[in-house]
A and B are shown apart, each in its own frame.
Chain A
Amino acid sequence: MWLHLLLLAVCTWLLPFCMGLLPVRYMKEEHRSFGMIWLAGWMMMFAVFQLMTVPFIVFEASFTVAMHCYTIVIGILAVIFLLLGRESVPGCIRKIKEHKPEKGQIPMMALVLLLIALQLFLAYHMQYLDGDDAFFVATSLTSQHTDAMYLFTPYYGANGELDIRHALSTEPIFMAWLSEVTGIHVTIICHSYISILFLALMYCIYVQAGNQLFPLQRKSKWLFLLFVNLWYLFGNVSIYTAESFAYTRTWQGKAMFPNLMIPALFVWLLFMAKDEMDVGEWAMLFVIVLCTTFTTSTGIFSVPVLLGLAAVLLAVQKKKAILIPQTLACLLPCIFYGLLYLLLK
């Protein structure tokens, strides 16, 4: 059992950490932090997975071959990124030392961390029997069992044609990869581990947002995070809200989209609005857009709406027309997968 847990730790902590080092190295000094490394690392892992796996799916290659290729590539990339990006670490350590919490902000900080810890604890101990798991989790398990991707209907196991409506969003296959590498049943991974991990990742993104919104007022940042916590905890007003999805389907791509991808895009829009886009930030914006297609096909249509509108508004406000083609370039993954979908439909 310990070996399985060790492998899980390597895949979900060490690998994202290594993968995040290089992009963060090329980001502005003020954006660098361990949280940003972890966030960027996850996005890199999703993006590489999406880029690599879609061709295997479209050409109906076996799951095993696709997963072996990804494991090798991500392993090599992690080593390269670690070597090239290790310079990011001292800066992050220095930042922690310099930003020790002030006495006055400790109670609020403790309250926020306690609330988050409580949510992570309950994510493990409580369950929500969601019907859509019959598709998403069963797709992961079916891929492992049949050694094929999106060719068997997960609902009852019959062989069919390539399910192109879902095939371009590879998130369930990513969970199957995680299960394959660690040797842990994919349903346990999704329901008892990813449910915790991605909630933590979500709050990590909100911490980055708080850093941007309140760069100098740290007390306000923790108050912002407290309100975010309450908003989420009490956001189960209908089955449609992003907040309901965050707790009841954390491991599904369509929950990752509004709770990980959209907040991350807003963090990057804040960078853009504050003229804090360096090479690393632009590269990561491209990567996050790619990740939105990884999570759900909804992203292929809706992300261009969000970023397109944001780019136009920012270009007008800043009198900086260049923002429009720059953002358009970052939207290429949506355009590419949108066209691919139309071609294969």
Chain B
Amino acid sequence: MGDIVRTTLTIYQNYGGGSTMTVIVAAAILYLWVAEDKKEIKVLFVHLTAGILALFFCPLFAWAAMKFFLDSQVYYRLLWLVPMGMTVAYALARAVSKIETRRKRIVISTVFALLLVQSGSLVYRNPMVTKAENLYHLPPSVISVADAMRVEGRDVKAVVPGEMLQFIRQYDASIHLAYGREALVDGWSNNPLYEAMESSPVRSFAITDYAKQQGVEYIVLRAGTPIAGSKPISKYEFSYLTTVDNYDIYIYDRAKFAAEKKAEFGILASGDWEENYIQTQ
């Protein structure tokens, strides 16, 4: 029981992210409880919201919800049932509407607006929010690499660096991957090819061997990735095809479309690309 109480408290604290957001919501509910005279508003914005919060913290309810319906990872979504924005905005607008003089209304509105600005965090200041570079809102390098690998009329299988995993199939579903986004999330997958791809230096035998075992037709490496092993990648039947947007693409020599692709990129013979190769035993 103590664990479930701690879990819900942590979820609640994480939801507010250390801001005063949840305090403002609580203050708004409290204000409406004291000041609101319309019963129909009070029942929704005070009793109902307080009821949902009470259920959220109720250990028995939380235990049942996490066991049967929502796991602990998504239990925070129960807080979405509290219309926080609507409640706070209504409480603030109501408080302002009760002020008699226009000048005071303007001053108090400004104070409330500054309170919201000061206590929150502007979404556009999130470092993850960046300027879009194309209509897909995807990294341009992903689009270039996918275009280079595409084979008209058939699917291909590739292995790509971690930073591309989440995006490449949003652009082109004909590109299958040896592993996907789950490799980035702890505990979701333990594909040895992912470990081999993300190690530094990359072992030429390991990545090509795992790739062949998993039917991979393209290997994409960050340009400049050091490659170590007794032989370079090209000696393990993966020929260098091209470099686009700082990514080196290798093609499996036995892939059905290998000759066609090599011709497209003007590759006449395989086996000569040994850049970044470090010979080891």
On chain A, the residues within 8 Å of B181 by CB distance are 131, 134-135, 155
A235–B21 touching, CB < 8 Å = yes
Contact B80 A127 (CB under 8 A): no
Q: Is B72's beta carbon under 8 Å from chain A? A: no
Q: Are A127 and B21 in contact (CB under 8 A)?
A: no
Q: Which residues of chain A from 219 to 269 have a CB within 8 Å of any chain B CB?
A: 219-221, 223-228, 230-238, 240-244, 247-248, 254, 257-258, 262-263, 266, 269
B141 to chain A, nearest CB (A): 12
CB distance from A56 to the nearest CB of B (A): 19
State the CA gap A54–B36 with chains docked (Å). 44
Partner of A238, one of B14, B177, B178: B14
Q: Is the CB of B15 within 8 A of A305?
A: no
Cβ-based interface call for B83 (8 A) = yes
> Distance (Å) between the CB of B126 and the closest chain A CB?
6
Number of residues of chain B lying within 8 A (CB) of chain A: 82
- Residue among A124, A128, A219 with the highest chain B CB neighbour number at 10 A: A128
A206 contacts chain B at the CB level, 8 A cutoff = yes
Contact pattern, B 61-88, Cβ under 8 Å of A = 1, otherwise 0: 0000100011000101111110111101
Hey, which chain B residues are within 8 Å of A242, CB to CB? Answer: 80, 84-85
Distance (whole angstroms) from the CB of A244 to the closest CB of chain B = 7
In the complex the two chains form, what is the Cα distance from A316 to B18 in whole Å? Answer: 37
Contact A305 B170 (CB under 8 A): no
Q: How many residues of A contact B (CB 8 A)?
A: 79
- Kindly provide the distance from the CB of B55 to the nearest chain A CB, expressed in whole angstroms: 7
In angstroms, Cα B131 to Cα A122, docked, is: 9
**Does B123 count as interface, using CB distance less than 8 angstroms?**
yes
> Is B4 engaged at the interface, CB distance under 8 Å to the other chain?
no
Contact B169 A317 (CB under 8 A): no
Binds B, one of A9-17, A67-75, A93-101, A141-149: A141-149
Which of B14, B89, B171, B182 contacts A187 (CB under 8 A)?
Answer: B171
For residue B108, give the distance in angstroms from its CB to the closest CB of chain A.
10
CA distance A263 to B39 in the complex (A): 20
Give Cα distance in the complex from A170 to B18, angstroms.
35
Chain B 3-38 interface residues, beta-carbon cutoff 8 Å to A:
14-19, 21
Contacts of B180 in A (CB 8 A): 134, 153-156
**CB neighbours of B261 from chain A (8 A):** none
Instruction: Find out whether the CB atom of A273 lies under 8 angstroms from the CB atom of B43.
Output: yes
The verdict on A188 contacting chain B, using a C-beta distance below 8 Å, is: yes
A298 interfacial contact with B, CB 8 Å: yes
- The smallest C-beta distance from B116 to any residue of chain A, in angstroms, reads 4
Partner of A227, one of B39, B89, B172: B89
Q: Is B117 an interface residue (CB 8 A)?
A: yes
User: A321 within 8 Å of B by Cβ?
Assistant: no
| Alpha-carbon distance between A213 and B89 when the two chains are bound, in angstroms | 11
Judge whether B175 is part of the interface by a CB distance below 8 angstroms. yes
- Per-residue interface assignment for chain A, residues 133 to 176, with 1 indicating a CB less than 8 Å from any chain B CB and 0 otherwise: 11101100110111000000111111000000000000000000
Question: Which chain A residues numbered 293 to 345 have a C-beta less than 8 Å away from chain B?
Answer: 298, 301-302, 305-306, 309-310, 313-314, 317
Interface residues of B in 149-186 (CB under 8 A from A): 155, 165-167, 169-182, 184
Quote the shortest CB–CB distance from A252 to chain B (angstroms): 12
The 3 nearest A-B residue pairs measured at CB: A234-B120, A155-B180, A238-B17
5 new A-B contacts, CB < 8 A, other than A156-B177, A237-B120, are: A126-B132, A231-B116, A231-B120, A240-B76, A306-B81
Q: Which residues of B contact A (CB under 8 A)?
A: 14-19, 21, 39-41, 43-44, 47-48, 51-52, 55, 65, 69-70, 74, 76-81, 83-86, 88-90, 92-94, 96-97, 109, 112-113, 116-117, 119-126, 128-133, 135-139, 155, 165-167, 169-182, 184
A-B contact pairs, 24 of them (CB 8 A): A125-B131, A126-B130, A127-B133, A154-B173, A157-B155, A157-B169, A157-B176, A187-B137, A192-B135, A213-B41, A223-B93, A224-B93, A227-B92, A234-B120, A234-B122, A237-B16, A237-B21, A238-B17, A240-B15, A241-B21, A242-B85, A269-B48, A302-B70, A309-B48
